[in-house]
């Protein structure tokens, strides 16, 4: 439901009214009981939902290049899953003993 703006012709009182589109326009001022007229409003903000409507979907190419470089740097800094044990610690293997070292 839209919000309509009204102004009194007698006392210049301005007010807004939240009304249905099919509701009849208000004709009497709530302050002085004079006649009012509906003003042409700015309208409400439109909200688009879904992909393709967000500001971030249309970033500049320089921003996109910086974001890709940052993402690449972050992925290079992370160790691979094979370097980690189940607890998340890096695994270290002890050198194996050969028959020559045991003597």
**pLDDT at 20 exceeding the cut of 70:** yes
- For residue 66, the SS3 value is helix
Confidence of residue 67 (pLDDT cuts 50, 70, 90): confident
How far apart CA 54 and CA 57 sit, in angstroms, is: 5
Q: How do the domains of the chain map onto residue ranges? A: 3-39
The string over 39-71, giving b where at least 16 C-beta atoms fall within 10 Å of a residue's C-beta and e elsewhere, is eeeeeeeeeeeeeeeeeeeeeeeeeeeeeeeee
Mean per-residue pLDDT for 46-56?
A: 66
Q: What is the pLDDT of residues 27-48, one digit of tens each?
A: 999 999 999 999 987 766 777 7
DSSP characters over 22-62 = TSPPP-B-TTT--BEEEE----PPP---STT-SGGGG--HH
């Amino acid at each position: 439901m839209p919000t309509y703006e009204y102004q009194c012709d007698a006392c210049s009182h301005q007010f807004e009214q939240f009304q249905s589109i099919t509701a009849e326009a208000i004709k009497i001022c709530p302050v002085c009981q004079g006649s009012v007229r509906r003003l042409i409003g700015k309208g409400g903000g439109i909200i688009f939902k879904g992909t393709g409507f967000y500001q971030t979907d249309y970033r500049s190419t320089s921003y996109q290049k910086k974001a890709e470089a940052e993402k690449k740097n972050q992925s290079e800094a992370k160790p691979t899953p094979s370097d980690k044990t189940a607890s998340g610690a890096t695994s270290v293997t002890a050198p194996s003993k050969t028959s020559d070292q045991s003597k």
